[in-house]
Structure 1
Amino acid sequence: MFLPKGVLPRSLTLAACLLALGAPAWASPAQNYDFGQAASAAKATRTVELVMGDMSFSPKTLDIKAGETVRFVLVNKGQLLHEFNLGDAAMHAKHQQEMLKMQQSGMLTPTAVKDMPAGAMDHAAMGHGAMPGMKHDDPNSVLVEPGKTAELTWTFSKAGSLEFACNIPGHYQAGMVGKLTVSQ
């Protein structure tokens, strides 16, 4: 079949559109993380409360066992919007760039997160392709507004060293990061 240059067959165009509509803007909920996966709170074998102050977590270190499912209760006692994100330093560095773009778009304010309507941003210019609305819905991450409480439950699959961090621009650099050790 002959098609003019730059024209895709209708079936491929439809498939690309369906994929784009189903793809969240900033997250990959189906993404596999080598250190574990999101779990339901009912599966938690332990609950850990973390208090978020402005530029701090308390406690600053956590020890977890491989195979353990932990329900994190995140209490933001600070005056600013904060994030709890599980990952290694490289993951945090990448996510910080995404969070910066979210802040520059107006989605993140110092105290809140706003939903962005479809088409509100030029995602293609950011290297993300055409995406409906911008969202913060990574399974290893949650945003917590001042005075609010949120939860994240995670099953840790293997031993290793991780960090829990706030990747809102400038927060990680100001010390809002903690060490999480997963042992056998």
Structure 2
Amino acid sequence: MFLRNPLAVAACLLALSSSVWADPAHTYDFGQPAPAAKASRSIEVVMGDMSFDPKAIDIKAGETIRFVLVNKGQLLHEFNLGDAAMHAKHQQEMLQMQQSGMLTPTGMKEMSHDMAGMDHASMGHVMKHDDPNSVLVEPGKTAELTWTFSKATSLEFACNIPGHYQAGMVGKLTVSQ
């Protein structure tokens, strides 16, 4: 029986309690999430299929920005703040989610209770897309991400759904003093 396997039981328990195991201590050297009420300004970013508009955003260190993300495309898209190395790592996680069937071209499937045959332990986020520097936006929907930028740096905002970054769905985010 599936539940007699201690590893399978542990994986099920971990998945069912994953909100407890979310990584609240994870920090980003370029800033942290913030409540929308703290935003000093809002920036609308329109997501097309394989494009962002605007393609570049300039911000001042210390500023809290409310990103309003409007997906006018036909596909699921992501808005993720980070540097190129962070995006490369996240692209691998997103590929695993796609290969497992959790990530579809237009949305995310909920975790099923039948986890037989799925290697969730190898994924850092236990089949969840819950990074505070990232949000998924379904076709025709709008979402928000509010972030306080702590220091001057060069970043990217990108869609890390498999193939999207490579197709040009990446923009430049410059944080100046």
Q: Is 1:123 the equivalent of 2:117?
A: no
Q: 1:56 aligns with which of 51, 57, 72?
A: 51
Q: 1:159 aligns with which of 147, 152, 157?
A: 152
In structure 2, what is the equivalent of residue 174 of structure 1? 167
Residues 1:57 and 1:99: Cα distance change in structure 2 (over 3 Å): same
Instruction: Tell me how large the CA RMSD over aligned residues is.
Output: 1.8
TM-score by length of 2: 0.85
Cα deviation for residue 104 of structure 1 reads: 0.6
In structure 1, what is the equivalent of residue 131 of structure 2? 138
Equivalent pairs, count? 160
Q: Is 1:72 the equivalent of 2:70?
A: no
Whole-Å Cα distance in 1 between the matches of residues 82 and 51 of structure 2?
Answer: 17
In structure 1, what is the equivalent of residue 87 of structure 2? 92
Q: 1:43 aligns with which of 35, 38, 48?
A: 38
Maintained 8 Å contact 2:93/2:123: no
Cα deviation for residue 35 of structure 1 reads: 0.1
List alignment gaps of at least 5 residues for structure 1: 1-16
Percent of paired sites with the same residue: 79
Q: Which amino acid aligns with 1:23?
A: W
TM-score by length of 1: 0.82
Whole-Å Cα distance in 2 between the matches of residues 127 and 140 of structure 1?
Answer: 18
Larger Rg belongs to: 1
Whole-Å Cα distance in 2 between the matches of residues 140 and 170 of structure 1?
Answer: 20
Cα deviation for residue 30 of structure 1 reads: 2.7
Q: Is 1:33 the equivalent of 2:33?
A: no
Q: Which amino acid aligns with 1:94?
A: K
In structure 2, what is the equivalent of residue 13 of structure 1? none
Residues 1:119 and 1:33: Cα distance change in structure 2 (over 3 Å): farther
Whole-Å Cα distance in 1 between the matches of residues 59 and 162 of structure 2?
Answer: 28
Cα deviation for residue 142 of structure 1 reads: 0.2
Map Cα deviations across residues 27-76 of structure 1 (whole Å, 9 max, x no partner). Answer: x3430000000000000001000000000000000000000000000000
List alignment gaps of at least 5 residues for structure 2: 1-12
